[in-house]
Amino acid sequence: MNSADDRRNVRAGHRNGGGTVTGFVHKGHSPHPSLDDSLEGEIRAFLTDEDQLHTYDDLTKVNPVTPTTVLKCLQARYRVKVFYTHAGCTLVALNPFQPIPDLYSLDVMKEYHCASQPQEFKPHIFIVAEEAYRNVQGQLEPVNQSLVVSGESGAGKTWTSRCLMKYYATVAASSSVLKSQDTVERIERRVLDSNPIMEAFGNACTLRNNNSSRFGKYIQLQLDRCQLLVGASVQTYLLEKTRVACQPANERNFHIFYQMMKGATDEQRKEWKMSHDQRFVWLPKAEKTIEEDCFHDTVEAMVHLGINAEKQRQIFKILAGILQLGNVNFSSSTDESQPCNLQEQSKDFLQRAAELLCVPAEELQLCLRVRTLKAGKQSVLKPCSQAECSMRRDCLAKVIYAQLFEWLVTFINNSICADKSTWCNFIGVLDVYGFECFQINNLEQLCINYANEKLQQHFVAHYLRAQQEEYVSEGLQWSFVKYQDNQSCLDLIEGSPVSVFSLLNEESRLNRASDAKTFKVRLEKELCDNVNISWDKFSKVPHFTVAHYAGKVNYQIQGMVEKNKDPVPPELISLLQKSENALLHQIFTDREAENMTSKGLSKVTVVSKFKNSLESLMKILHTTTPHYTRCIKPNPDCKPLTFKKEEVIMQLEACGIVETIHISAAGFPIRIPFKSFMERYGLIAKYSGSKSESHCVDLEALSDDMREVEKLVRVVLQHQGLDPSRCLDGEKHNSWVHCGRTKVFLTQSMLDLLEDQRKRILSQCAFSIQCCWLRYQRRRRQARRQSATLIQAVVRSWLVRRQVQRWNRAAAVIQNTWRKWRALLKSLAEAELDDAKDLVKEDVPVLNPVVRERGSVQLSTIQEPVTVRGWPMGLALASAPSITMSLTATGFQKMMSVMASLNLPSRSGEYKVETNQYTQGVASIRAQPKGSVKLHYQRSPLLYADRQPDLKSDVTGFNEILLEKTL
Contact criterion met (CB below 8 Å) for 231 and 323: no
Burial class (CB in 10 A: 0-12, 13-18, 19+), 197: buried
209 part of the active site = yes
Binding residues: 151-158
- SS3 string of 299-351? HHHHHHHCCCHHHHHHHHHHHHHHHHHHCCCEECCCCCCCCCEECCCHHHHHH
DSSP strand pairing (670-673 vs 370-375): unpaired
Residue whose C-alpha is closest to residue 805's, from 794, 793, 815, 813? 813
Cβ–Cβ contacts within 10 Å for residue 598, how many?
Answer: 10
Residues in contact with 603: Cβ distance below 8 Å, sequence separation at least 6, in sequence order: 509
- Within the chain, what is the greatest distance between any pair of CA atoms? 174
Task: Find the helix or strand (DSSP H, E) in which 654 lies.
Answer: helix 645-654
User: What is the C-alpha separation between 492 and 395, in angstroms, rounded?
Assistant: 30
Residues in contact with 385: Cβ distance below 8 Å, sequence separation at least 6, in sequence order: 332, 340
User: What is the C-alpha separation between 508 and 512, in angstroms, rounded?
Assistant: 9
**Catalytic residue among 202, 428, 434, 870, which?**
434
**Catalytic residue among 130, 188, 240, 436, which?**
436
Return the DSSP state at 430: E
User: What is the C-alpha separation between 433 and 152, in angstroms, rounded?
Assistant: 8
Query: In the beta sheet, which residues pair with residue 375?
Result: 378
Residue 330 to residues 28, 325, 517, 584, Cα–Cα distance (Å):
59, 12, 29, 25
**Catalytic residue among 213, 441, 449, 499, which?**
213
Return the DSSP state at 918: T
436 part of the active site = yes
**Catalytic residue among 69, 153, 499, 579, which?**
153
Q: Give the distance, in angstroms, between the CA of residue 936 and the centroid of all CA atoms in the same chain.
A: 92
**Catalytic residue among 135, 209, 508, 629, which?**
209
158 part of the active site = yes
Query: In the beta sheet, which residues pair with residue 886?
Result: 867
Return the DSSP state at 420: G
Contact criterion met (CB below 8 Å) for 158 and 431: yes
Query: DSSP secondary structure string, 456-514?
Result: HHHHIIIIIIHHHHHHHHTT----PPP----HHHHHHHH-SSS-HHHHHHHHHHSSS--
Question: Which residues in 363-407 belong to E strands, given as ranges?
Answer: 370-375, 378-383
User: What is the C-alpha separation between 939 and 368, in angstroms, rounded?
Assistant: 116
Q: Which residues of 164-184 are buried (b: 16+ CB within 10 A; e: fewer)?
A: bbbbbbbbbbeeeeeebeeeb
Cβ–Cβ contacts within 10 Å for residue 472, how many?
Answer: 13
Residue 590 to residues 233, 577, 593, Cα–Cα distance (Å):
21, 9, 5
**Catalytic residue among 85, 158, 236, 499, which?**
158
Contact criterion met (CB below 8 Å) for 70 and 658: yes
Contact criterion met (CB below 8 Å) for 170 and 104: no
For the CA atoms of the chain, what is the radius of gyration?
A: 53
**Catalytic residue among 154, 216, 326, 551, which?**
154
Query: In the beta sheet, which residues pair with residue 217?
Result: 236, 431
Binding residues for ATP: 151-158
- Cis? peptide before 497, omega within 30° of 0: yes
**Catalytic residue among 68, 135, 161, 212, which?**
212
909 part of the active site = no
Query: In the beta sheet, which residues pair with residue 547?
Result: 552
User: What is the C-alpha separation between 566 and 262, in angstroms, rounded?
Assistant: 32
598 part of the active site = no
16 part of the active site = no
Three-class DSSP category at 522:
helix
Active site residues: 153-154, 158, 209, 212-213, 434, 436
